[in-house]
Amino acid sequence: MGWNLDQSFWKEKYQGIINEMEEGYAEVDIEGKLTNVNQAFCHIWGFTKAEMIGHTHELFTRSEQARKNFNNYKSVLNTGNPIKSNIFEGIRKDGAVRLVDASISLMKDQNAKPAGFRTILQDITEHRKTQEQLVAQKSRFGAILQNVRDGIIIVDPDMNIIEYNEVASDICSLVSDTKIGHHLSDPESQCDKTCLKLLQETLKTKTNIQRFDLYCHRKRHSPKFLFISSLSLLNANEELLGAMLIIRDNTRLRDLERQLNERHHYQEMIGKNAKMQEIYNLLDELSDLDTTVLVTGENGTGKELIARALHFNGKRENKPFITVNCSALAENLLESELFGHVKGAFTGAVRDSDGRFKIADGGTILLDEIGDISPRIQLKLLRILQEKVFEPVGSSTPVRVDVRVIACTNRNLKVLIDSGEFREDLYYRLKVIEIEVPPLRDRLEDIPLLFRHFLKKFNYTFNKSISGADPAVMEVLFNYPWPGNIRELEHVIERAFVLCHVRSIGLDHLPKEIIEGAKRNAQHSSHDEKDDGSELLAALQKTGWNKAKTSKLLGISRPTLYRMIKKHDLAAPIE
């Protein structure tokens, strides 16, 4: 009697455990009939336990599927091996179709003889629907991804590629074996990897970043101008899932805009003047060449900005850009500075030292104030321009370098040649291409652009919010001849910022000499304009209506020339 009580107790305990299971549980006899089921099993099929006991799988499956299930039971009986996954469709009591994944194992009695089967079911209907939806969504997303005109690259938080489209592959020239899961890197790209830096910053800060007209230059590929968006991908809990890079190739559009419209900015340079437009176009042509360039112009015109634009807009942008002020050092010091020296070459040479040419290897060297170097240094420069070879001071061992040379000067080198101060052969080596930067007095139409640029700069520097200048101030800026050019204009505006404590710069914030110089220049221009126009017309006809040549011929600025042409209502003859 006690044993029966114990058996009843353990049977009840056993049934309680299986009823707590989340998976469906059933016991089946050798003939395939259900002998025991738990609550989850009943819930899956919508029948009560009483309705299911004694029935086969035909109660909740179609006949063909019921036979397959029974054959699975027979296989387990014959082999003794369990079936871990048997996916099939069944029909609930209410007619709803459910997809389940069943496992089957053999039960044995106390004598180790087969007594039936255990089966555990998982309802995977919703999971399968979710999977199918994800597949469909991925298919739709893939179709969208491949048909958008922008390049798209999606990475995980470790910069491994999740997805990318063909446009991105074309723009970025992804190597042919780049696959999903690979790290987004291409050691053969020879680019500055700015795109990767944007993605890394986005992954680090979870912020979106945009870059307009990003210059992209890759080895053996034409340079491109790109619009880049780097977007963070977050889940509902603001957890980082990865980042998406959107790349738009604006190269063709930029070229068209350049042809149709004047540019007001180029790298660090500012100006819409026709001469500046010519310089911008020439810089585009020279950016990927190694041609030696001579930049000429008055002090303060921005010659170094031309040199920097040539370097940072070309294929050497990731290599050194080295500047040497040739007028700041004595001959011996300049020689050592340029070419380096070996230990013991001169008093104080306690160790070997690389010169600027060696440091600039692979990049660009700017020789500023080239007109001030001595004949001996000129000879050594001539050799390095011809042969790309030099010897450090105190050494006879030649050093070969790959350096692009850009030279700047505010002096007239032809006059120096005539006086014997500058080698003619070096001049022509330097002047493969000459870029002459116009003085500010010849590009007065750029003053408003420059003023706005310095306004923004000094508002930031001085933490002010000056919005502009009085009309009288702008009139002074237009009439002053600016012998110090853009540098002088910058200093004048900086001084005004120091003195100005209101929203607008006034005349009292300008130096008196600037105001007086503007008055004198305006009176002189007014005097020049008091004529009947015959001299002006004759000069225009003589130069073929070339405005630059006419300005030089008459000794007046181009803005004054334009005012005189307008005053006398002159127009070029129609061919």
Task: State residue 8 phi and psi, 5-degree precision.
Answer: -65, -40
Q: How many CB atoms lie within 10 A of CB 508?
A: 12
Q: Quote the mean pLDDT of the chain.
A: 83
Is position 403 within any domain?
A: yes
CATH number of the domain to which 54 belongs: 3.30.450.20
* Residue 211 pLDDT level (bands cut at 50, 70, 90): confident
* Residue 180 pLDDT level (bands cut at 50, 70, 90): low
CA distance 291 to 311: 11
Same domain flag for 508 and 556:
no
- Mean pLDDT along residues 440-444: 90
Is position 131 within any domain?
A: no
Same domain flag for 295 and 426:
yes
Instruction: Name the residue range of residue 83's domain.
Output: 14-125
Tokens standing for 454?
């310095």
Phi-psi region of 428 (alpha: psi -120 to 50; beta: other; left: phi over 0): alpha
The answer to whether the CB of 99 falls within 8 A of the CB of 117 is no
Residue 302 in 3-state DSSP? coil
The answer to whether the CB of 543 falls within 8 A of the CB of 553 is yes
Is position 140 within any domain?
A: no
Q: Which of 166-175, 319-328, 478-487 has the lowest mean pLDDT?
A: 166-175
Same domain flag for 215 and 354:
no
Same domain flag for 279 and 217:
no
Is residue 210's pLDDT more than 80? Answer: no
Residue 44 is predicted with a pLDDT of: 92
- Mean pLDDT along residues 359-380: 92
Condensed to tens digits (0 to 9), the pLDDT of residues 498-518 reads 999 999 999 999 999 999 988
Is residue 187's pLDDT more than 60? Answer: no
Residue type, 398: P
Q: What is the CA radius of gyration of the chain?
A: 41
Residue 537 is predicted with a pLDDT of: 83
Closest CA to 45 of 107, 108, 102: 102
Same domain flag for 221 and 320:
no
Same domain flag for 315 and 429:
yes
DSSP letter for 573, please.
Answer: P
The answer to whether the CB of 270 falls within 8 A of the CB of 453 is yes
Q: Which residue's structure tokens are 């890079």?
A: 245
The answer to whether the CB of 104 falls within 8 A of the CB of 73 is yes
Is position 139 within any domain?
A: no
Same domain flag for 370 and 286:
yes
> Total structural domains in the chain?
5
- Mean pLDDT along residues 76-101: 91
Domain boundary among 372, 405, 436: 436
Is residue 260's pLDDT more than 50? Answer: no
Same domain flag for 309 and 423:
yes
Is position 574 within any domain?
A: no
Is position 5 within any domain?
A: no
Number of helices and strands (H, E) in the chain? Answer: 22, 21
Is position 405 within any domain?
A: yes
CA distance 49 to 443: 96
The answer to whether the CB of 559 falls within 8 A of the CB of 479 is no
Same domain flag for 289 and 381:
yes
Closest CA to 447 of 518, 512, 500, 508: 518
Is residue 212's pLDDT more than 70? Answer: no
Q: Which of 356-365, 445-454, 523-532 has the lowest mean pLDDT?
A: 523-532
CA distance 446 to 451: 9
CA distance 119 to 37: 10
CATH number of the domain to which 467 belongs: 1.10.8.60
* Residue 12 pLDDT level (bands cut at 50, 70, 90): low
Is residue 489's pLDDT more than 80? Answer: yes
CA distance 485 to 553: 22
- Mean pLDDT along residues 165-190: 62
Phi-psi region of 533 (alpha: psi -120 to 50; beta: other; left: phi over 0): left
Show the DSSP H helices in 217-288 as ranges: 251-260, 274-286
* Residue 24 pLDDT level (bands cut at 50, 70, 90): very high
Residue 177 is predicted with a pLDDT of: 46
CA distance 219 to 353: 32
Same domain flag for 358 and 469:
no
Q: Distances in Å between the alpha carbon of 523 and those of 267, 269, 513, 555? A: 37, 31, 15, 15
Condensed to tens digits (0 to 9), the pLDDT of residues 513-545 reads 999 988 888 776 655 545 557 778 888 888 888
User: In sequence order, what DSSP letters do the residues of 415-451 get, joined into one string?
Assistant: HHHHTTSS-HHHHHHHTTEEEEPPPGGG-GGGHHHHH
Is residue 485's pLDDT more than 90? Answer: yes
CATH number of the domain to which 396 belongs: 3.40.50.300
Condensed to tens digits (0 to 9), the pLDDT of residues 65-75 reads 999 999 999 99
The set of residues, in sequence order, having a beta carbon less than 8 Å from that of 332 and lying 6+ positions away, is: 346
Tell me the whole-structure pTM to 2 decimals.
0.51
* Residue 547 pLDDT level (bands cut at 50, 70, 90): confident
Same domain flag for 241 and 170:
yes
Same domain flag for 360 and 423:
yes
* Residue 77 pLDDT level (bands cut at 50, 70, 90): very high
Phi-psi region of 402 (alpha: psi -120 to 50; beta: other; left: phi over 0): beta
CA distance 164 to 146: 9
Q: Which of 53-62, 171-180, 442-451 has the lowest mean pLDDT?
A: 171-180
* Residue 151 pLDDT level (bands cut at 50, 70, 90): confident
Residue 288 is predicted with a pLDDT of: 79
Percent of the chain past pLDDT 90, that is, above it, reads 42
Is position 64 within any domain?
A: yes
